[in-house]
Amino acid sequence: MLNTLLVVALAALALWALTVPGGIITLLFVAAVLYLAYKRLSLATFTATFFVLLLAYQLLGAPAGVWKGFLWLAFTALALFNLAPLRKSLVTRPFMKIYRRMLPNMSSTEREALEAGTVWWDGELFTGKPDWSKLLGAKAPQLTAEEQAFLDGPCEELCGMIDDFDITHRRGDMPPEIWEFLKTRGFFAMIIQKKYGGLEFSAYAHSCVLAKLSTRSSTVSSTVAVPNSLGPGELLQHYGTEQQKNHYLPRLARGEDIPCFALTGPRAGSDAASLPDTGVVCHGSWEGREVVGIKLNFSKRYITLAPVATVIGLAFRLFDPEHLLGEKSDVGITCALIPRATAGVTIGRRHFPLNVPFQNGPIQGRDVFVPLDFIIGGPAMAGQGWRMLVEQLSVGRCISLPSSGTGGGKAAVFATGAYARIRRQFNMPVGRFEGIESVIARMVGLTYTMDAARSVTAGAIDGGEKPSVPSAMLKYHVTEMARQVANDAMDVHGGKGICLGPNNYLGRGYQVVPVAITVEGANILTRSLIIFGQGAIRCHPFVLKEMEAARNPDRKRGVDEFDAALFGHVGFTISNAVRSFIMALTNARFTAAPDTGPARRYYQHIVRFSASFAFAVDVAMLSLGGYLKKKENLSARLGDVLSCMYLASMVLKHYENQGRKPEDLPIVEWACRDLLYKAQEQLHAFLRNFPIRWLAGLMRFCIFPNGLHYSAPDDRLGRQLASLVLEPSAVRDRLCHPVYRRVAANNPLGLLQEVLEMAERAEALEKTIRVQGVKTGRIRSLALPQQIIEAEALGLITSADAEWLAEYDRKVMNIVDVDDFAPHELGTLSASAR
């Protein structure tokens, strides 16, 4: 409907321009003004240029009457707005009073979360005019020789030691030799500086190690992830006293101490503002001395490594009723290190998260007394715990779960591509069926997207960024993509995937997916509250400046700052409205892009959606104010649009980093189309549900003036993607690197790759048997092993081919077969107790 109305309106406008005197020059004048807005000129420059255009328009025959008067009135208003004292008096001060009432309340924990980390590419996407040189000019992540040697050496060796069924079913834990290997070979010390005995790896290397381990065992990868993520090691390096660093970091690096970090509790979850765990500053006895310390009472749960931890990082709310530290009674969130053996600590019991037995459990403490210098950073850092956590979370959350999810996706694609090639129905590989092709294509595209986001963002961290908003995007979207890939892999494998046993390579990865969805900020909360809620304030070029100016106790300076931010914001919004409208009308074909090749159109579409997104954000924030914070579904959809643009940008940068290999282009096209289509649909849903309907209509006119035209990836492209992983190829190897692929009896993925490399020759031999033997009636057996014997006897294949094909069939059936057990092998009760 809107598309039809627009065509009619444009036709009427053209007719008017051709028949009314001065119509053509009027259209040219309006186009020139829109172009000025599109280019985003300053107020003074726009006013001066508008004046010159207006004079030229009048001299060249502008129509007289109301229109002409309106234009001169508009110029007069623009000119007056350039007079700062008048502008502040008539507009800025009155609006500032209204704005203060619209500002949402902000807790101290929210404020510290907003101030944490840095603004990176996410900030560019909020501008409506992203500067691609900032992204494409960033150095591609690369492993050092030492890091590569670690992946090729200890990491590979560790993968060979892992028997995941033994870990998950028989033991419910890793065997002692793996624990010892992790401790002594530096797996718990990747983020610790070398001067303390650590490996001091880059974020990218850290990510690659976790991704590789995740292709083998989620229990092992989780165990390695925690000491290298947010916890005692990270906090000590950034905030610890020298005495704390010198004592703990060498012990953590050698594996003599196992750390855990206890934040989540049964009453408040990870909501630090409601943390019920307390520490009270008081006098007490420590090792026979009377000292000033802290009496702690706490109850924590879901704490990974807690059952085996020797040192506990603890978050609690500190109170100082006797003012032994200072004037404050409520000091605030504080972090301390508590040795396991401290009196009053109860630790050792385990949770059992979905049958995946990584060490995780509760910790309680009752009247636990420790000295003040157990606070991380000493007494000077009392009350700074939440700031410490959110500053470091922006890094850790970009690495641990995104790397594990990506590794799981790579393993699933690696296995499913091979399995779908060797598993046959109706005399053809199941991977050649269109329904299966579309599922495998989705697995390939999502895995490429996950890998791009993981590696490019890790590279940004190594470049000095602490990307807090992208960390939330990656946490939500990569774990959700991993969930989709796990579901798809299960669908393709069918019964093979659901029957657990030593030969099942999907089941435990499938089971652990909800754990990743839940931890480090549950996904529903992350999508609804964090991504856009944090991004809208932190990344927007004007909002944070306006908020700070409005709250500035120096009123005069606050008005000056608010005035600059406000009128910059107004011009910004108008420019994005015009840019969105023009790029939507032209399908962004004339938008500048850094690439002239096949990927050019995706750069252009991201810029178009960036302008539309920025315009929609400004309208929503101006009209709804603090109420937008409560409209979680609207915020979630805007967060989805931001995330899709970010992820599509990561895909393009990853493609650049890998040398723009032409054979990877179908995957890049699928991923970008998938993400940009989702961005379009989320913008559409946002407009459908926007509560102020006339504003929704205005936004729709600027964002989708000719309707929704962006389409999802088509079947032809899906078929291309599936074919890339159904056979051995450089693309398959690159996409699935660094999957553990050694051919060994205890590594189903290696065995799958082995038979995949044999599949083409086997299919040719099977076709010969089928066409020349079975279809002619010369071979009557139904089973392939007997058909091979008869084909050899008839001279259809050589004896060497027959022997080779029989071996191939045996290997395929070993993979296709599922495990079974005697009744007594299942269950935890002994036979006599049943």
Distance CA 377, CA 375 (A): 6
Amino acid at site 397: R
Distance, CA of 593 to CA of 36 (rounded, Å): 20
520 is a catalytic site residue = yes
Residues in CB range of 314: below 8 A, 6 or more apart: 261, 262, 277, 296, 298, 300, 335, 336, 337, 338, 365
- Residue 6 is encoded by which pair of tokens? 């627009």
Alpha helices in 527-554 (DSSP H): 531-538, 543-550
Quick check: helix, strand or coil at residue 329? Answer: coil
For 707, other C-beta atoms within 10 Å of its C-beta total 13
Q: Quick check: helix, strand or coil at residue 593?
A: coil
Nearest to 579 by CA among 614, 555, 551, 554: 614
541 upstream amide cis, omega within 30 of 0: no
d(CA 598, CA 727): 25
Q: How many CB atoms lie within 10 A of CB 347?
A: 23
One of 520, 546, 669, 792 is an active-site residue; which one? 520
Q: Which three-class secondary structure state does DSSP give residue 7?
A: helix
Question: Residue 59 contacts by C-beta under 8 Å, 6 or more apart in sequence?
Answer: none
Tokens of 648: 């599509």
161, two tokens: 């030691």
Q: What separation, in Å, do the N-terminal and C-terminal C-alpha atoms of the chain show?
A: 69
* 212/143 Cα distance (integer angstroms): 14
Sign, Cα dihedral of 824, 826, 830, 834: negative
Buried b (16+ CB within 10 A) or exposed e, 608-645: bbbbbbbbbbbbbbeebeeebbebbebbbbbbbbbbbb
Tokens of 202: 């880059």
Q: Return d(Cα 363, Cα 315) in angstroms, integer.
A: 12
**Hey, what are 358's tokens?**
């990584």
Which residue, 218, 283, 167, is CA-closest to 482?
218
Determine the Cα–Cα distance for residues 372 and 349; give it in Å rounded to an integer: 28
Give alpha helix (H) positions in 20-82. Answer: 23-39, 43-59, 66-81
At residue 528, the 3 state secondary structure works out as helix
Candidates 568, 625, 550; CA nearest to 93 is: 550
The partner residues of 260 in beta bridges, in order of sequence, read 312
Spatial distance between the Cα atoms of 265 and 314, rounded to a whole number of angstroms: 11
Cβ-contact 103, 548 below 8 angstroms: no
Separation between Cα atoms, residue 85 and residue 206, nearest integer Å: 55
CA distance 101 to 776: 86
Write down the residue that tokens 């929503």 correspond to.
620
DSSP assignment string, 119-130: --HHHHHTTTS-
Q: Is the peptide bond before 738 cis (omega within 30 degrees of 0)?
A: yes
The DSSP H or E segment spanning 240 is none
Q: What residues are annotated to the active site?
A: 520
